Chain A
Amino acid sequence: MSASNAAHSIIEPSTGARRFAGLLVILYAIITMVPLAWIVLTSFKSPDDAISYPPKVVFKPSLEGYCNVFTTRSRQTQEFIQTLGSPQGLCDNIARSRNMVVAGPSNYVPRFINSLIIAFGSTALAVALGTLSAYGFSRFRVPLKDDLLFFILSTRMMPPIAVAIPIYLMYRTVGLSDTRVGMILLYTSVNVSLAVWLLKGFIDEIPREYEEAAMIDGYTRFQAFVKVVLPQATTGIAATAIFCLIFAWNEYAFAVLLTSGNAQTAPPFIPIIIGEGGQDWPAVAAGTTIFLVPIVVFTVLLRKHLLRGITFGAVRK
């Protein structure tokens, strides 16, 4: 035993330890924020600033990247441009300064809408199916319950892309290739195993007495499920929804393989921007920044549940 004359608590960390932990957290936050900040800054740079070395932190902001990601442009001669009337809006103005005219909208908006429909659609479906089956596994005597649960989990054990080729062939045969429905089904099937396992944990924590009380009060089991179980499972449902949404929103490999002209999502579209008329990094950064917004909003809206969800089961009321 070392002779320590300072009284210390076994629960409260010492001031030094707390400062050190705080420093680590701040450091980690900075490291993770740098790429994000880089992307957001780049989206407001002009193409020249974007590729300058050393990188500029202070620069003259420009909306060229955002214009370029939403429009297609064509290069014209000075003489032709002078025959046109005054520029149509901000983007046309920027384009003309580079001897170009806006030819029309780009595919970014439809791709973005595809992403929204597919990601939120598959999340809703996975969470709905997951909640129902988790409830079933939690409350009823299901034959071979443990084997079934393991089987459901096992679908998550290999990387989804390992089955990409068979799925590509299957989808081509049944006509789901390059359709939103096809992508929703695919992402749902990947996410539903996660949803079942996460939600089963949450629903196991809800005492059966609640439903039993409701059923004695005259409600059917399904009514009891909707009125009593679901409101108490919101935390779990929200946490699960965020995990599912993040996967579906970010998914790239299947999207590249299975979608093209019709159901293409934003992730495979953004790199294509590079190919069109030089390496337009501000446009790529702008597309990425906008792409980040929905998931950030969704996570911020549900963050209360997410925090409680991550520590679920750790503290009982």
Chain B
Amino acid sequence: MAQIRVEALDKSFGTFHAVKAASFTVEDGQFLCLLGPSGCGKTTTLRMIAGLELPTAGTIWLGGEDVTMNRASARDIAFVFQLFALYPHMNVRRNIGFPLKCEGVGAAERDRRVVEAARILRISHLLGRSVSGLAGGDRQRVALGRAIVRKPKCFLMDEPLGALDTEMREAMIHELRALHDRLGATTVYVTHDQLEAMAMADIIAVMNNGVVEQVASPRDVYDRPASLFVADFIGSPPMNFLPFFGSLQTGAQAVWLGEREVAIPAAREALAESDLVLGVRPEHVRFSDRGMVRGEVYGSEYLGTTQIVTVTTHYGALKARSPSSIYFRTGESVGLDFRPDTLSVFDKASGRAIRTALYEGGAHG
């Protein structure tokens, strides 16, 4: 197992700039999720770590060794593909043993390790089967078996659960995480599904348009987003944004939304007058008759224990999460308050978060 360090990685395909100066570090034994919408460059980044693509610029360190220009076969990594890539002309046993055959491991030793990997993944009973008849989850386990059988430096996974149905995916999320904890394997996992990333990752790297916008723990990515994009992409429903025009002094504990003062975590930087955005998570919106923002209920979405209430206000439609026991009438006039210590402030032009007592700054929280 080894640390993975990516420094200022760049990749262009002709005129298309797929990855722009991506940097992050995955410590030995850590589970990192590369999260972002499709086309954001996360798969390209993973393929560069694997050696399936060569970067245009930048460096990749694997266990302290510069492997930027090494062949994939010389990197000692394992890769799990979205569509599993099980060799259809081999049975399960030969599929799992295929990487060992290349290393010249003897037949007896090979068999022992294949059986061991199958036991860990609970697919021992499938070893003699052809891969074409397997169900999605079992195929995924065989693909994982091929990855773990060689004891590589790290695991790279490209949306490995993308082809599974929801139920199977839920189960595999827990299985994958348990497998990771058991093997202590450094893992980079690509997904566009924030729930997967939240559930599995030690750290999440959020990517957008080829740029790594934030690298932080799932909790920090959610509570302290580094940019408007992260705040919008993470969370369902996403963060509410209230645009306003104003300036900030270092240490300021409130901003003016028009003529209403809203308390925020103390600012850690000064800002001249400009277009700003106040960000508030739906669960931090409180209904209060003396609330500073007024609006009327547009509708509500019942989610079991909670509901999402949409309120039309002067600042646009805001979504609030409230216990589903409260009844809201459509068209009802309500007042809204925000929990001050949870608010984020963004610079609208650049999209970056303003440093505050809540958000200490930097993409690498």
Interfacial chain A residues near B146, Cβ < 8 Å:
213, 217
In the assembled complex, how far is the CB of residue A219 from the closest CB belonging to chain B, in whole angstroms?
A: 5
Q: Is B325 positioned at the interface, with any CB of A under 8 Å from its CB?
A: no
Known contacts A216-B50, A216-B73, A216-B78; A209 and B85 CB within 8 A of each other: yes
Residue from B50, B81, B85, B103 with most neighbouring chain A CB atoms (10 Å): B85
B85 neighbours in A (Cβ, 8 Å): 207, 209-210, 212-213
Task: Please report which residues of chain B, range 100-155, place their CB below 8 angstroms from some CB of chain A when the two chains form the complex.
Answer: 102-103, 132, 146, 150
Q: How far is the CB of A143 from chain B (nearest CB, A)?
A: 13
User: Which residues on A sit within 8 Å (CB–CB) of B83?
Assistant: 207, 209
Interface residue? A74 (CB, 8 A): no
Taking a contact as CB atoms under 8 Å apart, the answer to whether B103 and A218 are in contact is yes
Known: A212-B79, A213-B79, A216-B52. Contact between A228 and B103, CB under 8 A? no
Q: Which of A176-229 contact B (CB under 8 A)?
A: 207, 209-210, 212-220, 223, 228
Minimum C-beta distance from A169 to chain B (A):
46
Interface contact A218-B73, CB-CB below 8 Å: yes
Docked pose: A291 CA to B216 CA in angstroms: 75
In the complex, A93 has a CB within 8 A of chain B = no
A231 contacts which chain B residues (CB < 8 A)? 87, 89
Contacts A210-B87, A232-B88, A232-B89 given; indicate if A217 touches B98 (C-beta within 8 A). yes
Residues of B within 8 A of A212 (CB): 50, 52, 72, 79, 81, 85
A215 to B71, CA, bound (A): 8
Contact assessment for A219 and B87 in the assembled complex, using a CB-CB cutoff below 8 Å: no
Q: Within 8 Å CB of A210, what residues of B?
A: 85, 87
Residues of B within 8 A of A219 (CB): 73, 102
CA distance A81 to B75 in the complex (A): 84
Structural contact, B73 and A213, CB atoms closer than 8 A:
no
CB interface residues, A 244-274, toward B, < 8 Å: none
Report the minimum CB–CB distance from A149 to chain B (whole Å).
20
Per the bound structure, the CA–CA distance linking A179 and B273 in Å amounts to 89
A43: shortest Cβ distance to chain B, in Å?
A: 42
The interface size of chain A toward B, counting residues with CB under 8 Å, comes to 17
A200 to B265 alpha-carbon distance, docked (Å): 62
The distance in angstroms between the C-alpha atoms of A210 and B132, with both chains bound, is 14
- Nearest B residue to A215, CB-CB: B72
A140 to chain B, nearest CB (A): 14
Q: Given A216-B73, A216-B79, A217-B73, does the pair A228, B150 have CB atoms closer than 8 Å?
A: no
B230 within 8 A of A: no
Say yes or no: A220-B73 contact (C-beta < 8 A), given A210-B87, A213-B81, A228-B87: yes
Q: B99 an interface residue at 8 Å Cβ cutoff?
A: yes
CB-CB nearest in chain A for B80: A213
Closest chain B CB from A8 CB (angstroms): 35
Main secondary structure of the interface of A (DSSP, over half): helix
Q: Check if B203 is an interface residue, CB within 8 A of chain A.
A: no
B299, chain A: closest CB distance, angstroms = 42
- Bound together, the chains give a CA A228 to CA B99 distance in angstroms of 12
For window 10-61 of B, CB contacts with A under 8 Å fall at 50-52
CB closest chain-A residue, reference B75: A216
Cβ contacts under 8 Å, B89 to chain A: 231-232
Closest Cβ of chain B: how far from A129's Cβ, in Å? 23
Cβ-defined contact, A217 with B52, below 8 A: no
B261 to A: closest C-beta gap in Å: 56
- When C-beta atoms are compared, the residue in chain B nearest to A230 turns out to be B89
**What A residues does B88 contact at CB under 8 A?**
232, 317
Q: Tell me if B72 and A216 are in contact (CB < 8 A).
A: yes
B39 to chain A, nearest CB (A): 19
Taking the closest CB of chain B, its distance from the CB of A202, in whole angstroms, is 14
* Those of A83-129 within 8 Å (CB) of chain B: none
| Interface residue ranges of B241-275 to A (CB < 8 Å) | none
- Nearest Cβ distance between residue B206 and chain A, in whole angstroms? 26
Q: In the complex the two chains form, is A209's CB within 8 Å of B81's CB?
A: yes
Q: Which residues of B contact A218 (CB under 8 A)?
A: 73, 99, 102-103
Assess A214 versus B98: contact at CB under 8 Å? Given A207-B85, A220-B73.
yes
Cα-based distance from A223 to B50 in the complex (angstroms): 18
Q: Does B77 belong to the interface (CB within 8 Å)?
A: yes
Closest Cβ neighbor of A231 among chain B residues: B89
Distance in Å: Cβ of B145 to nearest Cβ of chain A: 12
Taking the nearest CB of chain B, how far is it from the CB of A59, in angstroms?
51
Q: Which residues in A have their C-beta under 8 angstroms from that of B75?
A: 216
A212 CA / B48 CA spacing, docked (Å): 12
List A contacts of B79 (CB < 8 A): 212-213, 216
Task: Output the least CB separation between B189 and chain A (Å).
Answer: 16
Whether B102 lies near A217 (C-beta < 8 A) is yes
A210 to B98, CA, bound (A): 12
Please, which residue of chain A has its CB at the minimum distance from the CB of B14? A141
Contacts of B98 in A (CB 8 A): 214, 217
A213 to B71, CA, bound (A): 13
Contacts of A228 in B (CB 8 A): 87
- Name B residues whose Cβ lies closer than 8 Å to a Cβ of A: 50-52, 71-73, 75, 77-79, 81, 83, 85, 87-89, 98-99, 102-103, 132, 146, 150
Contacts A209-B81, A209-B83 given; 16 further ones with Cβ under 8 A? A207-B83, A212-B85, A213-B85, A213-B146, A215-B71, A215-B72, A216-B72, A216-B77, A217-B73, A217-B102, A217-B146, A219-B73, A220-B73, A231-B87, A317-B88, A317-B132
Name 27 interchain pairs, CB-CB below 8 A, sorted by A: A207-B83, A209-B83, A210-B85, A212-B50, A212-B81, A212-B85, A213-B87, A213-B146, A214-B98, A215-B52, A215-B72, A216-B50, A216-B52, A216-B77, A217-B98, A217-B99, A217-B102, A217-B146, A218-B99, A218-B102, A218-B103, A219-B73, A220-B73, A228-B87, A231-B87, A231-B89, A317-B88
